[in-house]
């Protein structure tokens, strides 16, 4: 089904797609762990283990499939792949809502992981419709959409879960279904036929896609920086509930409140202020500032002695969020239009890979050091982000050196 030709692709179209996509995911957050525990006979120990495996299975499938879908979007266009990915998410939610056993949850997550290319393809869409100097602002909308979805989604899911633990899955499927209809009848295609390229398995497989990044000057270092940065942030996300519960004795409500505040700050900074900040700092300096702030805040999370301090650190951390859009924008500058999908797929695969290893390292570190140094995972994340900073600076030096040779 082709989009009407008269509609000009724009950021507003893809922002609505992103909000609806994240909203569906956010709705199931409060109830999925409870459903898993119910399948495990009410055992939280068994339930937490199964939940960890469920997250890992999704991440592994996403790592494998994201580069493939990204390359397919370079061949067939962004819109068709977004529709395919949304269909997979809708099927995932319906299966989880109907699941008679834990095995069916794994089936659903495998399907969803295989079609989890919507975000990477949306990023490629943004690169298609924005000039290089405005891409950081465009990628900031991704963070704003995530913030908005995570503010509204869990609240809706929590309320619906009071009625039935399975109801949120069907409402999430409805959100994604509405998103699919929006994509089918409203969302225009962003990649013109003349900018497309043939599909290649060599570039589409996860290993080949990462090796292929070396073809673009400076991109490999920035991609590795992106992976390490996401690894550090994934450590924070995976240990947040355990850490705040142990150190500050936060209740479930207090943890939820902190996550809502994180979402609000993401909307404020990435949705409204990234454009002004990057216009003032430039993308390179914005990336460096964002990484430095993130490293400092991570260390401060591990050091904070009182729960109220966390909220001040969340405000500061939101400003560190300019690193992501800056990095995405810098990477797209080095990549031709007909390969944006493949590169965004590779970056999405790296994010998935970080999501596999980071929770394991964070949980292990927290468990081993909990009596004497409960914030150790945050210190590790801070150190990793400093490594990411070093890689970013090396990429800048390579760019400058090659540029000087090209223009003596």
Predicted pLDDT of residue 45: 56
- The CATH number given to 11-189+203-406 is 1.20.1250.20
Residues near 8 by beta carbon (within 8 Å), at least 6 away in sequence: 188
Q: Are the C-beta atoms of residues 363 and 238 closer than 8 Å to each other?
A: yes
Q: What are phi and psi of 186, to 5 degrees?
A: -120, -45
Q: Residue 261: in which H helix or E strand, if any? A: helix 252-266
Six-digit token pair at 245? Answer: 């519960």
Nearest to 151 by CA among 252, 28, 23, 273: 23
**What is the rounded distance in angstroms from the CA atom of residue 110 to the CA atom of residue 62?**
9
Predicted pLDDT of residue 269: 84
Query: What is the mean pLDDT for each group of 10 consecutive residues in the chain (408 residues)?
Result: 58 81 78 79 66 77 81 87 88 92 91 78 84 77 77 80 88 90 87 82 66 69 88 83 81 74 83 79 90 96 93 93 84 76 74 78 79 88 95 84 47
Q: Residue 224: in which H helix or E strand, if any? A: helix 219-248
How far from the centroid of its chain's Cα atoms is residue 194's Cα?
Answer: 30
**What is the rounded distance in angstroms from the CA atom of residue 43 to the CA atom of residue 49?**
10
Q: How far apart are the first and last CA of the chain?
A: 51
Predicted pLDDT of residue 7: 64
Q: Are the C-beta atoms of residues 127 and 330 closer than 8 Å to each other?
A: no
Nearest to 182 by CA among 21, 23, 69: 21
How far from the centroid of its chain's Cα atoms is residue 30's Cα?
Answer: 19
Predicted pLDDT of residue 129: 85
Q: Are the C-beta atoms of residues 27 and 172 closer than 8 Å to each other?
A: yes
**What is the rounded distance in angstroms from the CA atom of residue 282 to the CA atom of residue 276?**
10
Predicted pLDDT of residue 95: 94
Predicted pLDDT of residue 210: 65
**What is the rounded distance in angstroms from the CA atom of residue 39 to the CA atom of residue 403?**
59
DSSP class of 270: I
**What is the rounded distance in angstroms from the CA atom of residue 98 to the CA atom of residue 231?**
33
All structural domains of the chain with their residue ranges: 11-189+203-406
Q: Are the C-beta atoms of residues 145 and 18 closer than 8 Å to each other?
A: yes
Q: Are the C-beta atoms of residues 157 and 31 closer than 8 Å to each other?
A: yes
Determine the longest span between alpha carbons in the chain, in angstroms: 71
> CA dihedral defined by 362, 365, 370, 372, rounded to 10 degrees?
-130
**What is the rounded distance in angstroms from the CA atom of residue 85 to the CA atom of residue 89?**
6
Helix and strand numbers, DSSP H then E, in the chain: 18, 0
Residues near 1 by beta carbon (within 8 Å), at least 6 away in sequence: 184, 185
């Amino acid at each position: 089904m082709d989009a009407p030709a008269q509609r000009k692709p724009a950021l507003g179209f893809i922002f609505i797609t992103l909000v609806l996509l994240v909203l569906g995911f956010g709705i199931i957050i409060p109830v999925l762990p409870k459903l898993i525990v119910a399948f495990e006979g009410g055992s939280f120990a068994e339930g937490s283990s199964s939940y960890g495996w469920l997250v890992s299975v999704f991440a592994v499938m996403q790592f494998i499939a994201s580069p493939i879908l990204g390359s397919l979007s370079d061949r067939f266009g962004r819109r068709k792949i977004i529709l395919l990915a949304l269909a997979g998410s809708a099927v995932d939610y319906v299966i989880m809502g109907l699941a008679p056993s834990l095995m069916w949850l794994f089936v659903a997550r495998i399907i969803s992981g295989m079609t989890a290319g919507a975000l990477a393809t949306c990023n490629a869409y943004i690169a298609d419709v924005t000039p290089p100097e405005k891409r950081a602002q465009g990628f900031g909308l991704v963070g704003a959409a995530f913030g908005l979805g995570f503010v509204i989604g869990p609240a809706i899911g929590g309320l619906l879960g009071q009625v039935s633990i399975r109801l949120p899955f069907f409402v999430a499927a409805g959100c994604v279904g509405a998103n699919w209809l929006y994509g089918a009848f409203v969302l225009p295609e962003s990649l013109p036929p003349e900018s497309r390229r043939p599909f290649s398995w060599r570039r589409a497989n996860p290993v080949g896609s990462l090796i292929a990044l070396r073809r673009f000057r400076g991109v490999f270092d920035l991609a590795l920086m992106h992976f390490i940065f996401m690894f550090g942030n994934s450590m924070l996300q995976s240990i947040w509930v355990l850490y705040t519960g142990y150190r500050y004795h936060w209740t479930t409500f207090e943890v939820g409140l902190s996550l809502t505040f994180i979402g609000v700050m993401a909307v404020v900074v990435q949705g409204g202020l990234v454009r002004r900040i990057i216009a003032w700092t430039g993308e390179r300096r914005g990336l460096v500032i964002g990484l430095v702030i993130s490293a400092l805040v991570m260390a401060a999370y591990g050091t904070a002695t009182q729960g109220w301090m966390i909220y001040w650190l969340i405000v500061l951390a939101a400003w560190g969020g300019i690193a992501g859009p800056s990095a995405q924008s810098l990477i797209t500058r080095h990549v031709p239009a007909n390969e944006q999908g493949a590169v965004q797929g590779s970056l999405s695969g790296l994010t998935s890979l970080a999501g596999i290893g980071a929770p394991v390292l964070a949980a292990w570190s927290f468990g081993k050091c909990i009596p004497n140094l409960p914030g150790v995972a945050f210190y590790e994340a801070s150190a990793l982000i400093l490594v990411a900073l070093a890689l970013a600076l090396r990429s800048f030096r390579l760019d400058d050196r090659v540029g000087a040779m090209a223009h003596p």
